[in-house]
Amino acid sequence: MDLWHYEAKLPFSQKHLLTLQDWSGDEILQCLSLALRLKDMQKRGEKQTALAGKTLAMIFAKSSTRTRVSFEVGATQLGGTALFLSTSDIQLGRGEPISDTAQVLSRMVDGIMIRTFKQSDLEALAKYGSIPIINGLTDEFHPCQVLADLMTLYEKKGKLKGCKLAFVGDGNNMAHSLMIGCSKLGIDVAVASPDGYKPNPTYTAWAVANAAAHGSRVTVCTDPLEACRDADVLYTDVWASMGQEGEANVRLKAFEGYQINETCVDAAKPDCVFMHCLPAHRGEEVTAGVIDGPHSVIFDEAENRLHAQKAVMALLMGGAQ
């Protein structure tokens, strides 16, 4: 299908982006199509005004490079403004209820992007506030990253449906969001994780059901090479996520053998791409040879955070331009 001409239907049918499970495959494609067009407009120097006069509040309870910069630059490129609010500075971090924070911010800004620990905090913001809430990463999900990854896959392969993505490593927020996003677009997903670190069975069940409805397959196994066989995309993420620093040594042992390396590349399709949300640990979840080698598209993914999130903001907070 030609994603370039897959027009977004306005007003957009979703208010929030809490998890991609809430969005239909059609809504995801509308967003990706707009992202491609916004990227093209930006490269050609065309003025964009979807967020003119609008403000995005960005709440961060965890560190960030890509998410912070891409949302802030993206809001500016769309004619709006973004406010960086660290929970170590705002009253939320000192115990002010999330319900009060949601209601106060709803009186002053036009949308909230939040990076935090619990998914239930996002749900509370959406429940008590009156403005769009965007998930900038929780312990459970990272939907904005997956939108950028799907956009990158389309740019590299010219298609989405029928591709196969292999995820090797921790069954974490990235694994969950990849399983959900890909399964809604007819992309096969094979996850390989050690026992004790497999994806949450509830989210796996969602993804399996999505895949059944969209003609693809989601599988979870223990053998990395089995997952990588004939894959179009090899994906991995850190073994210890933010908030798990204390488990780093235990995880280093548990994930031995769950590295994307040259053997995995040999098992995948010859023209496979390697993806990683970043930040990465070379020599742990991926070899330097792979992440810095010819299959790697990590910086295209990083750039596409900007364009994909501009599409999310335009659809949820503004008018698509």
Query: Residue numbers of the site for ligand CP (CB under 6 A)?
Result: 64-67, 137, 145, 277-278
Tell me which H or E stretch contains 314: helix 298-317
Per the DSSP assignment, residues forming a β-bridge with 189 are 165, 218
Tell me which H or E stretch contains 276: strand 273-276
Q: What share of the chain is helix, strand, coil (3-state, %, to 5)?
A: 45, 15, 40
Residues 125-144 that bind ligand NVA (CB under 6 A): 137
Number of residues that bind ligand NVA (CB under 6 A): 9
Instruction: Choose the one of ligand CP, ligand NVA, none that binds residue 110, judging by a C-beta under 5 to 8 angstroms depending on kind.
Output: none
Nearest to ligand CP of 70, 321 (CB atom): 70
Nearest to ligand NVA of 98, 240 (CB atom): 240
Nearest to ligand CP of 29, 137 (CB atom): 137
Q: Which amino acid is at 76?
A: T
Tell me which H or E stretch contains 265: helix 262-267
Rounded to the nearest whole angstrom, what is the least distance from the CB of residue 102 to ligand CP in the complex? 23
Q: How far is CA 319 from CA 31, 56, 197, 234, in A?
A: 12, 15, 41, 35
Do 60 and 117 form a contact (C-beta atoms < 8 A)? Answer: no
| Residue 176, token pair as written in the block | 């969950």
Residues 218-237 that bind ligand NVA (CB under 6 A): 237
Q: What is the 3-state secondary structure (H, E, C) of 66-80?
A: HHHHHHHHHHHHCCC
Q: Is 149 helix (H, G, I), strand (E, B) or coil?
A: helix
Edge-to-edge strand order for the sheet containing 218-221? 218-221, 188-192, 164-168, 233-236, 273-276
| The binder of ligand NVA chosen from 277, 291, 302, 315 (CB under 6 A) | 277
| In the complex, residue closest to ligand NVA by CB | 241
Q: What is the maximum span of the chain, computed from C-alpha positions, in angstroms? A: 55
Active site residues: 115, 142, 145, 237, 277, 305
Instruction: Choose the one of ligand CP, ligand NVA, none that binds residue 301, judging by a C-beta under 5 to 8 angstroms depending on kind.
Output: none
Which of the stretches 95-103, 161-169, 171-179, 250-258 binds ligand NVA when contact is defined by CB under 6 A? 171-179
Rounded to the nearest whole angstrom, what is the least distance from the CB of residue 308 to ligand NVA in the complex? 14
Do 298 and 274 form a contact (C-beta atoms < 8 A)? Answer: yes
Spatial separation of the C-alpha atoms in residues 69 and 71, rounded to whole Å: 6
Instruction: Choose the one of ligand CP, ligand NVA, none that binds residue 173, judging by a C-beta under 5 to 8 angstroms depending on kind.
Output: ligand NVA
Binding mask 83-122 for ligand NVA (x = CB under 6 A): ----------------------------------------
Rounded to the nearest whole angstrom, what is the least distance from the CB of residue 275 to ligand NVA in the complex? 12
Nearest to ligand NVA of 23, 235 (CB atom): 235
Residue 238 touches ligand NVA, criterion: CB under 6 A: yes
**Using CB under 6 A as the criterion, which residues of the chain lie in contact with ligand NVA when the complex forms?**
137, 172-174, 237-238, 241-242, 277
